[in-house]
Amino acid sequence: MSNSSWVAAILNYEANESDELSLQIGDKIWVDWDQESDEGWYQGQKGEEFGLFHKSCIEVIEKEGDLENNDLNLENNNETENQFLEKNPKEKTIKNDSKWNNLITNLVKGVQKSGENQRKRLGQITKQKFEILTEGVQKEEHKINHLSTQVETLDQNFQELSNQFSENKKILEKINSILNSKK
């Protein structure tokens, strides 16, 4: 009896050789665990395609429904080369293999993509904060404009009162002059 099971791709992997499978995160692959090629490389079938892939690119699907239920960790894999080697010390022997180098490249791309996503999110947050600050500044500018209009109105009222006072003073001076002339 064959030792086989379904697995799901947790990393994007672009095939370097004609005997390899290209993988996209979430791809479902039937793997024969008895068909280990090089250390950590297994033969599998994805749809109508057959080929090799590295075990670091996949996660075993325990039950047929796991892939549909999203029970697997199919997010960007941010594992570094050193973290991978610490968890998988046997893999150090194939570090210089071109297939290994391709895996490392894919892992780095995953980390870079995650960094890009974080930069985009930071940009979105910064934009949101800028918009909030801009809205606050606009509100304050509106208040300043309103106060400026009130000051202009008060200044006009003061000018009118000052003119009325001057006219009233002239009238009083004339009245005083008339009263003084009658004395």
45: how many CB neighbours lie within 10 A of its CB? 15
At 67-119, the pLDDT tens digits run: 444 444 444 444 444 555 566 554 444 444 555 566 666 666 666 666 677 77
Question: Which structure tokens are listed for 38?
Answer: 């090089």
Quick check: helix, strand or coil at residue 164?
helix
DSSP, residue by residue, 121-156:
HHHHHHHHHHHHHHHHHHHHHHHHHHHHHHHHHHHH
- Flag whether the pTM goes above 0.95: no
Q: Does residue 163 have a pLDDT over 50? A: yes
d(Cα 100, Cα 93) in Å, to the nearest integer? Answer: 10
Domains of the chain (ranges, CATH numbers): 1-75 (2.30.30.40)
- 3-class secondary structure, 93: helix
Q: Is it the case that residue 32 has pLDDT exceeding 90?
A: no
